[in-house]
Structure 1
């Protein structure tokens, strides 16, 4: 009996408010409007007990809420995430091909005429910087080393004579002319040593090997070591043991070494999209049919266009320490052409549409609460939320269609 009396009283109050609403002062009308008792046109029907009961389910839950415990959430494979700030990126997808980094390709050539006496490295071998790849027998090198050794011997002799003449001249025992002659011979011998050393350096003989040359190492002067200027892997070995190299009509290159710890991606970008790409833009690389992904950045944009394809050559560099990216492979590249920092960002999969409005499902102590939101900017993966949720709240980000279906079913049952 009491609930019926309450309902009748509320109905009468509602009628009176409807009649008197135009006469309510503006300040009081604003207060009633904020509490939901009066709308802009009159009384809000939801303020009456009858409407309030209609907005609750059989379990007493408020409209837009759904009971669901942690075990049921886990069974439904509904993932949760905390709402936070982030970056939205707009991408341009273009085709590309993996090529070696041109800065890490070493073409090892013979700077002298000779014959291959030893091959220390073969196809596929790993090479460290400065490691010996091959040894040649070269008459040219033997002559240069002999010249250097001879210059060293002469320098030592002239130095001794100069020091002796200098001592005698200082004691006024020797004439100045004799002293000056000895000093000139010493200077000339010093210059010959310097020139002989420069000649060996030009032939590619290492400073360490030159420093070890003396009268005691006259044997094997024809041996010429070919060392690698950088690290990597031997991808080509052009000569065989005993082959003549360096001469007219003979092989000049011996090895090709490539370091594939980083590779280039040559992107083909049309003239319509070229203006949106800048050097330094982030690039995400993927290969069709695999789940392999890598990130890099654009390092070069050619100022020239290909006359046939009317496209520009764009180079991106990516890390390849595991050697998973092989030169020659075709890939897809997503170039980030615009980035914007937003205060609240959620995954696109977290959003659902109900009653024509985008909604999120916010985690509560008993389950989830449907929350209408206002969306802003968006990219391929995320959407900015301009209004509706706060940073730090926990929302459902996967299988949210299950929550939408469950809530829709519950509200349909409650309306009957």
Structure 2
């Protein structure tokens, strides 16, 4: 074979080899794509088969956050759990915001209902019929005294009904008309002397309504300012505002410190919630509103507030039932649910 012929044959062979390589490369690429696709589809199918073969696994994973009573963005607490946690419920609605002034005070006996019982004649105390703390009726015998003048005994009687709050004589002791033997007080009403600082002088007037909390778990005792002293006290730099309060059930006792709250003004608002209902969640102010057994955090916008209520301008509607007391428990449950979901 001549040299040109051999050269041509070599060129043909090279071309055939190159074409075969290109064909193999082109045919190999779709094969890899095709072979990869079934693998992915096979993996997807196996996952689907696994879920289908074990439906309880998928259900458990879905309900993991709900196992502790936590729904999407809410907390489930039934009445039993509410009672155990001390969570108090209230209904959102109109209220009155009150500007209040809190004043420290001292409980005292009503000096207009106190009497000092003094012997008519000096003598020796032969009997003691009543002691401190005893209640007496008008005309009841407190003690029997033997007069030094006549050497006869006479009864020392209570001039009014009340409670014996002091006794200055003892059995066999000499009793003089110069010193009270007993003090009887009617404790059905009491004085509360409130200390008013100078910047509040103009805000406190006779007739102002005052609420005193005896701190016994009951409602406050209501009274009114009966007297405002025109003279200040040098040691405390305050003036005295005295109120007269009923003492039903003897919930207050003379000698105790207390706090009186004067309502200075009132402003009605269309919608308000207790201050104890307000919680902060992720920097937002929320109120936990109950829906069935679930509580959901409701973002609220607030207006004015006093020491007990906060006006709600947006976020709630009248009639919404919300966690007003111990709402921090609901917040803690919500945080536990969030941590459970993240885990």
TM-score range, shorter chain: 0.5 to 0.7
CA displacement, residues 278-314 of structure 1 (integer Å, 9 cap, x when unaligned): 3332233457xx9798534333221222244331012
2:307 to 366, 380, 400: 380
Residue 401 of structure 1 aligns to a residue whose secondary structure is helix
TM-score normalised to structure 1 length: 0.52
Which residue of structure 2 lines up, in the alignment, with residue 295 of structure 1? Answer: 221
Does 1:84 find its partner at 2:93?
yes
1:102 to 102, 106, 111: 111
When residues 294 and 318 of structure 1 are mapped into structure 2, their CA distance, relative to the original with a 3 A threshold, is farther
Count of aligned pairs: 266
Which residue of structure 2 lines up, in the alignment, with residue 129 of structure 1? Answer: 138
Contact kept, 8 Å, 1:346 with 1:382, in 2: the verdict is yes
Which residue of structure 1 lines up, in the alignment, with residue 208 of structure 2? Answer: 280
Structure 2: where are the runs of 5+ without partners? 1-61, 64-70
CA displacement, residues 246-290 of structure 1 (integer Å, 9 cap, x when unaligned): 4xxxx2533211233433222222111222223332233457xx9
Shift of 1:122: 3.4
Which residue of structure 2 lines up, in the alignment, with residue 68 of structure 1? Answer: 76
Which residue of structure 2 lines up, in the alignment, with residue 34 of structure 1? Answer: none
Higher relative contact order at CA 8 Å, sep ≥6: structure 1 or structure 2?
1
CA distance in 2, matches of 1:233, 1:311: 32
Contact kept, 8 Å, 1:98 with 1:265, in 2: the verdict is yes
Contact kept, 8 Å, 1:260 with 1:321, in 2: the verdict is no
Does 1:262 find its partner at 2:189?
yes
CA distance in 2, matches of 1:105, 1:369: 58
Contact kept, 8 Å, 1:118 with 1:136, in 2: the verdict is yes
Residue 383 of structure 1 aligns to a residue whose secondary structure is strand
TM-score normalised to structure 2 length: 0.61
Which residue of structure 1 lines up, in the alignment, with residue 277 of structure 2? Answer: 350
Which residue of structure 2 lines up, in the alignment, with residue 331 of structure 1? Answer: 258
Contact kept, 8 Å, 1:134 with 1:227, in 2: the verdict is yes
Residue 304 of structure 1 aligns to a residue whose secondary structure is strand
CA distance in 2, matches of 1:310, 1:98: 20
Structure 1: where are the runs of 5+ without partners? 1-57, 143-219
Residue 275 of structure 1 aligns to a residue whose secondary structure is helix
Q: Which has the higher strand share?
A: 2
What is the CA RMSD across the aligned residues, in angstroms?
4.1
When residues 325 and 114 of structure 1 are mapped into structure 2, their CA distance, relative to the original with a 3 A threshold, is same
Contact kept, 8 Å, 1:104 with 1:258, in 2: the verdict is yes
Contact kept, 8 Å, 1:284 with 1:293, in 2: the verdict is no
